[in-house]
Amino acid sequence: MWRIVALMMLALLFGYGLIRIGVGCLLLAQALELIQVTDFADALAEVKRFTAARADKELVAFSVSGYCVYIMLMGLLLASGAVGVFRYKLWGFMLLGLYLLMHAALFVNYQEINPKLFVLALQALMLVVLLYLRPPRAADIVK
């Protein structure tokens, strides 16, 4: 039963990572004018409005393209970390931890509290549960 729960969590994390990679790639392609899709233009406009509204508060300024790359990198860490945890590898947990730090850094950077903070907290809880349910194999842990 618990094994299935862990596998479901890993599937969710992996899938969410793939979504972040895909969305980041598509938005970056739109920002670089490699593609022209109305829905992506609307999403980019939303990103521009979000960053412009917080320009006076942000600690590190992101261009729209830079923000898209950041989102893609977060997705890569999330999907790769899920694969590592699936394989009982310590590096999987490290990548998931780095993803969580990057996600939290966005809240700090924009000094923003919003409902996505709940997603971050849920993912942190999932990481703790996965550490219990699928701990890295002893051979991977440096002594």
Residue 16, pLDDT > 70, answer: yes
How far is residue 109's CA from residue 133's CA, in Å, rounded to a whole number?
33
Torsion angle of C-alpha atoms 86, 75, 18, 96, degrees rounded to 10: 20
What is the CB-side half-sphere exposure of residue 63 using CA atoms within 13 A? 6
Predicted structure pTM score: 0.89
- pLDDT value for 72: 97
For the record, the structure tokens of 30 come out as 């739109």
What whole-number percentage of the chain has pLDDT above 90? 78
